[in-house]
Structure 1
């Protein structure tokens, strides 16, 4: 496993080793996407690691038509609260 912040499996292992809370995650992939099997492998790894992950598959490939449909589902999934201030500014965004 390559030690890199670009490697989600390494990041999850690092957080787990540090006894840090894993973030809730939402993943979606088209059933005609060439990355479907890789996504399923990641989903299984995340679940086995104890991550709270929502995984969805639907018709479509690695294309905007699929992403446009699932971005709406992702937004509905987000745990947003009316007038919530948490996450409004992480401090990493210049004003």
Structure 2
């Protein structure tokens, strides 16, 4: 929701740049699910999503002996959406910094 308001200040060229950067940087749903399926007990999907602390804990406990991996079955979509929203916010911030730098030069 926060990103919707931030996007209102962007020009059409900046929105196109945002879309292309999102395609390049966003985390893949397919990759996340494949990592969960094959490396879920070791926390592979959590490493991919940048949740290193909990991924290390999963690795050390073998996914809570499988229980944690099973729970992640229901949490992965939310973790993926949150990560992609964070990536989009970061790109918007970078675009706004570039815009501010250009206006200061002029």
Place the TM-score, normalised by the shorter chain, in its bin: under 0.3
- Output the TM-score relative to the length of structure 1: 0.26
- Output the TM-score relative to the length of structure 2: 0.24
Which one has a larger percent helix, Structure 1 or Structure 2?
A: 2
Which one has a larger percent strand, Structure 1 or Structure 2?
A: 1
Using CA pairs below 8 Å that are at least 6 residues apart, which structure has the higher relative contact order? 2
